[in-house]
Structure 1
Amino acid sequence: MCFFLMLAATDSILLAVMSYDRYVAICNPLHYPLVMNQTKCTQLAVGSWLGGMPFQLGQTCQIFSLHFCNSYKIDHFFCDIPPVLKLACGDTSVNELYAYAVVILLATIPFLLILTSYSKIIATIVRLPTAQGRAKAFSTCSSHLVVVILFYGSASITYLMPKSTHSALSDKLLSLFYTIVTPMFNPMIYSLRNKEVIAALRRLLLRA
């Protein structure tokens, strides 16, 4: 659970870092080599990996300090917070409150940063004089936007909605998106910007 939560936090922060990269590339293209230099990229990457570790480690320790008096078998694909808390005895409201706080810190805040970046990106794209320039700028962001929607959409429903409003089956289906579907499609989504990949897909479709 600890590794899963830390990697999910890293993914969330990295998506915010990538939106900042898109913002600099589109809104300040002449300053991009200076702003997004090798040192800055390394710092942002390391910060993404280390940023969520203390919170997720603390959350894991807090959850597994609870008493589990019934079955130890969870009704889920992996050891996630909601199905584990369902097995705990006694009051888990403190754990749920801590989980909400961590989600706000490591998911909601990065998501708001992404929205802020894209609001400025869209404003810049609208002001571009040519349709070709607008299309090129939008293609730079399209793959990242698809991943953001898939990841944050499914994860927010799972962790932020009350437990009474969704079943264990819906939790399983939603968890598939941010744990399996989104990572599996990431290489394909991001490579669609590559002209060689697009040309290969066209040849494959025309052959079919």
Structure 2
Amino acid sequence: MSLFRFLIQGWGIPEEIRDKIFEPFFTTKPPEKGTGLGLPIVLKIIKTHDGFITYETEVGKGTTFYIYLPAVEKKVKKFEEVEVKEITPATILIVEDDESLRYLLKEYLESRGYKVFATDDGYDAIEIYKMNIEKIDLVLIDIGLPTIDGITTFRKIRQINPNACVVLTSGYFLPESDPATLMAEEGLNGFIQKPYDIDKIEFLIERFIRGK
């Protein structure tokens, strides 16, 4: 096993919530500051690689996370044995205010060969889209953005380019932001429910890009 150690200095984790920190959507932050998806996604990635995670914490001092991953000898396969999964060359704009989720999704998609812009702000996303309108193939927007919400961001991007391929994401949504209604009435290209299943996200993105 290979061990990775991460020290986070801060308040530490109170005993009464320690059994909840890996639950999707659990957070002690206000809604505009976090979605509670960072650690669940980290756990998902670690399990995908047959590893596990533990931690030590002390209230008032901080928390140390220990990530254990199998140390395996890399096997070089012959060319004909390698399963090649082709991706559609594309540039994606991620608009997500959860820093850990935005970072993980950006890193994963770039590792798969996509070009990625990423921001946590709807206004910034609109400017990025304006400057790169010929390059961006897909815009992935979280509904619950803090300054300008994801639905308004979607509509403003569509004003710039009526043919823009836009997909909304959320862990929850209000009736007035029902994605089925937005798809039927405003041409929204799709909706992805959080938490992301990291091993399926590429398939969904490919489907949206090829079907736009």
> Smaller-chain TM-score range?
under 0.3
Computing the radius of gyration from Cα coordinates, the structure with the larger value is 1
- Higher strand content, 1 or 2: 2
Q: What TM-score do the two structures reach when normalised by structure 1?
A: 0.22
Q: TM-score, normalised by structure 2?
A: 0.22
Higher helix proportion: 1
